[in-house]
Structure 1
Amino acid sequence: MTEILQHAITVFLGYFAIMNPVANTAVFVGLTANMPDLRRRQTAYKALFTSFMIVLVFALLGNMIFHLFGITLPALRIAGGILVFMIGYQMLHGESSKMHEADDDANSGDIAISPLAVPLLAGPGTIATSMNFAAESGWYMPIITVAMFACLCIITWFCFIFGPNIIRIIGDNGLNIVTRLMGLILAVIGCQMVIDGATTVFH
């Protein structure tokens, strides 16, 4: 039971750091500033539901994807760890990751799908993290991975809905501090993924 709880906390904190609900709330508020409340809620729901389904597919079908493309778990951990570390490194310096930025023409389509769902919420780092957590030994790992992401989606939904109030309270300085803290956590998680993958290869 202790192992399950520890894994659940690790997964939740990993997702929290890589999704960074507070920073993404600022992006959401900016993209939906001219929308009525009902459409803004619908956009938040669609974006989070889409990102959840993406993570669900990769978490549950990770092993099948491995076999289909001939990918090994150590290779995923090393590549995913480098990817997550790069995102964390950029956030640690107060920059938004290039892999989590909106395109200039984002408003020409459905912003709930792009850029909100992909790449802001379910970007490459999130997908790699999901597959890494779900692929660990134990039948319950994919279930915990999906459940923790679902919890974070609920939290993020509330952040989106009350976004203007949250941004007003924490201010720009608070947003920068949160972004840097999440970047530090991501960088550490990325290093650990690389160490785990490299250790498995050498053994």
Structure 2
Amino acid sequence: MHIAPSIPSSFVTLLVTIGSVETAVVFASLTAGIHRNERRSLALRSVVIAGLVLLIFAIAGSLILSVLHISLPAFRVAGGLLLFLQALTLTFSSPGLSSINESEKRDAEQPGDIAVFPLAFPLIAGPGSLSAAVLVMGRTAGWIEGVGVIAMVLACLLLTFVAMRAAERLVAILGRTGADVVSRVSGILLAGLAVQFVFDGLGEAPFLRG
């Protein structure tokens, strides 16, 4: 069975921008206190909410861009640069710091529902993963590849939910050093994918065509 090259590339792009392991590490930290008994519910609801938004961006992204009169090549360059910045943060910072800041973390540690903020947004469905959803769908050729990309989105969300459910175990196994290694490897992969998106966008730019 032939698998289009865009499908595994889409999976890697979405996986490193969503950051299943990094998300689980931050989730374990945020739910270590008053939210401990709500972990399963919080994990499920945050993944479902983030997943719905990611699917909307993936399916309707091109339409949104056309309404705003933004060409796909222009968005490839802009999205590639955004993903490259995220890659730098993953490579040189601690896991999760690219998603939430200290103020957001303090808010999450207070009583209240944290499924939407900061778990679904911006931890799972952040600017990087939302841009990635539009970018990977934008380079599909035909509905079969489009369905494949949707399947990759769902697969990454499932992996994220599993990682969140096993967050404490992951943290115990990986430790801070292991989590940092995963983050940095993800950053390196994302950097290469981001530069490729920029190249693709520039390659279709009208002012660069012969």
Normalised to the residue count of structure 1, the TM-score between the two structures is: 0.92
Residue matched to 1:52: 51
Given that 1:133 and 1:142 are in contact with CA atoms closer than 8 Å, whether structure 2 keeps it comes out as no
Q: CA deviation at 1:135?
A: 1.4
Q: Does residue 64 in structure 1 map to residue 67 in structure 2?
A: no
Aligned residue among 151, 171, 188 for 2:155:
151
Residue matched to 1:189: 193
Unmatched 5+ residue regions in structure 2? Answer: none
Q: CA deviation at 1:105?
A: 2.2
Q: Which runs of 4+ in 1 moved over 6 A?
A: none
Residue matched to 1:2: 2
Q: CA deviation at 1:155?
A: 1.1
Q: CA RMSD in A?
A: 1.7
Which secondary structure does the structure 2 equivalent of 1:130 belong to? helix
Which secondary structure does the structure 1 equivalent of 2:143 belong to? coil
Residue matched to 2:129: 126
Amino acid corresponding to residue 119 of structure 1 in structure 2: P
Given that 1:17 and 1:182 are in contact with CA atoms closer than 8 Å, whether structure 2 keeps it comes out as yes
Change (3 A) 1:3 1:73: farther
Given that 2:25 and 2:96 are in contact with CA atoms closer than 8 Å, whether structure 1 keeps it comes out as no
Aligned residue among 180, 185, 198 for 2:184:
180
Change (3 A) 1:194 1:60: same
**How many correspondences in the alignment?**
201
Given that 1:74 and 1:196 are in contact with CA atoms closer than 8 Å, whether structure 2 keeps it comes out as yes
Unmatched 5+ residue regions in structure 1? Answer: none
CA distance in 2, matches of 1:99, 1:93: 10
Q: CA deviation at 1:99?
A: 5.2
Normalised to the residue count of structure 2, the TM-score between the two structures is: 0.89
How high is the sequence identity, in percent, across the aligned residues? Answer: 29
Amino acid corresponding to residue 161 of structure 1 in structure 2: R
Q: CA deviation at 1:152?
A: 1.1
Change (3 A) 1:22 1:96: closer
